[in-house]
A and B are shown apart, each in its own frame.
Chain A
Amino acid sequence: MPDSDTLAFADRPTTSVGLVTPHVARFDTPLALACGKVLPAYELIYETYGTLNAERSNAVLICHALSGHHHAAGYHSEDDRKPGWWDAHIGPGKAIDTNRFFVVSLNNLGGCHGSTGPVSHNPETGRQWGPEFPMVTVSDWVASQARLADQLGIERWAAAVGGSLGGMQVMQWTMTYPERVANAVVIAATPRLSAQNIAFNEVARQAIRSDPEFFDGWYAEHDTVPKRGLKLARMVGHITYLSEDAMGSKFGRDLRSDDLNFGFDVEFQVESYLRYQGDTFSTAFDANTYLLMTKALDYFDPSATQGGDLAKALAPAQCPFLIVSFTTDWRFPPSRSRELVDALTRAGKAVSYANIDSPHGHDAFLLSNPRYDAILSAFMSRAARELNLAETGGDEAGKDKASLEETP
């Protein structure tokens, strides 16, 4: 990971949004979900960076990926050792420039970072939702995000931006609410998962569901978590996020000690790394949420209702698109982004596409890279210019933000 992603608060550069505080929005209008169930009420946790202008025309929506959340940029406390997950691209002077844009980043429904999800209390049963939390899809997320936009008084996003599963939400926005998105950025995504993608997700799900501590999803009531399952799920997932080259250059065949032990304990550095990643994740993420998120990935296929014709599915879209892929991404490889690009050109939509050289595989979308930063900046600057967005900030703008925060 580059330095900008790992700098502690004390060492933050001037391009950091600094300290941020999450907000919670409550929704009491029932939300009908794609699965047929209805969520009577729910909460979404979100953060904002920058200042909403008087016309409310400079808002940018950030959609998160599988294990992401609302904390995309800045720090929660001065003791934080790392900034938000997309700090490389959000901040003053960065590609998503908070001097110009008002950035909104939320945790999706079904998440485990503060939005209503399996770890929330179900008022109807008086217990945790757990495995009874309804399946949520990309369309459901977009519908809930639209309600958040309504509550914030944002009629149209200056841009919707997302990587991986986040990119799918951006695609969905342009189809469901075409008039509410002025620009769309879809990074390292795919218009639908391949059989191989679904297969990897199924291995992850089986790892979780076969853990004896899973208790059919009621692990919380047994005061436990399916740590082993979640760890395995993360380990297999993590392999798909990195490229073979990246793994090779990072770990090679390096051993932790000088000699082979002829045993099954950790010997190779890559084993140690994967176990560490899995362990960290298994205590920080909810297993039911992980199951839901992987299903949302599997189900996403906007072409399905159009007889497999993606161009037809994208027909309602009105905004210019930027599609970005990374050369060594084998989870959602460049060819999948190109499918999306070809569908968009067939549909006659404004679209630009860049395939960025990066050794970092799928994870490249999270990192900084000169060409990636440049193309994102070029697209966002052009968007700002076309929307006549001036630089915000200063005292008066600060007041706007304060009044927004008081909005119930």
Chain B
Amino acid sequence: MMRADLELIYDWVPEGAHVLDLACGDGELLETLAKNKGVTGYGLEIDHDGINACVARGVSVIEHNLDDGLSSFCDNSYDQVIMTQALQALRRPDKMLDEMLRVAEEGIITFPNFAYWRHRIHLGLRGYMPVSKSLPHAWYDTPNIHLSTFNDFEHLCREKGLMIVDRAVGVGDHQGHWKSRLWPNLFGEIAIFRVRRR
């Protein structure tokens, strides 16, 4: 069983695609994609245990700090660039979005939705920075320095003139729950976007 957001992404990656997976973790997604859909490509990761896990399972992984950009990858050299749960930890998420869509025509991005109702209760009613399953850190030691909402990201895509091909939200383990489809910004815990340059 893959993480809920990975299950959804799995369906969005076409057969035989050449992909870059930014912050690929232990390589589970890439391995599954390679095995079942003949997908090729590389994972980029900075976590030592993640890199080792990738190597152990035969997933090509490159130690790389995403804040250094993607300059070592050529324009249009991949079909898709995937980035799960890393956008919020980058120094310049907007620039990374540009980079992703320079390297590939299409990008898949997932991030914790800061406007999720539980987060709102934490902040709005209790007056504390939210701590949840998707945002497990305290404010002082969190790697998540650029928190945003479902709406914020849509706004950024519109500003950049990007086409939103697909969007979805995950709530705990049940992605695409009816409430979250209706009010994704309120009921979605994880935001999942598929974007394309026009």
Contacts and interface: CB of A to CB of B under 8 A. Distances in A.
A354 B52 CA distance: 9
Given A346-B74, A374-B52, A353 B62 contact: yes
Given A338-B72, A345-B42, A346-B77, A381 B56 contact: yes
Contact of B58 (A338, A342, A375, A382): A382
Nearest to B42: A345
A277 interface: no
Interface string A338-353: 1001100110101111
B55 A379 contact: yes
A350 B73 CA distance: 15
Interface residues of A, number: 22
Q: Is the interface of B mostly helix, strand, loop or mixed?
A: mixed
A386 interface: yes
A262 B191 CA distance: 71
B74 A354 contact: no
B67 to A, nearest CB: 15
B46 to A, nearest CB: 10
Interface in B35-79: 40, 42, 48, 51-52, 54-64, 72-74, 77
Contacts of A350: 60
A320 interface: yes
Among B18, B72, B74, B77, max chain A CB count under 10 A is at: B72
B55 A375 contact: yes
A353 B45 CA distance: 10
Given A350-B60, A352-B62, A354-B63, A322 B72 contact: no
A321 to B, nearest CB: 9
Given A353-B63, A375-B52, A386 B42 contact: no
Nearest to B56: A378
Contacts of A341: 62
Nearest to A385: B58
A184 B77 CA distance: 24
B54 A352 contact: yes
A145 interface: no
A355 interface: yes
B74 A352 contact: no
A355 B55 contact: no
B57 A382 contact: yes
A344 to B, nearest CB: 9
B72 A342 contact: yes
A386 B58 contact: yes
A26 interface: no
A371 B48 contact: yes
A345 B73 contact: yes
Contacts of A386: 58
Contacts of B57: 382
A-B pairs with lowest CB-CB distance, top 4: A378-B56, A378-B55, A353-B62, A342-B72
Interface of A: 320, 322, 338, 341-342, 345-346, 348, 350-355, 371, 374-375, 378-379, 381-382, 386
Given A355-B63, A371-B48, 17 more contacts: A320-B60, A341-B62, A345-B73, A346-B74, A352-B51, A352-B55, A352-B62, A353-B63, A353-B64, A354-B51, A371-B52, A375-B51, A375-B52, A378-B52, A378-B56, A382-B57, A386-B58
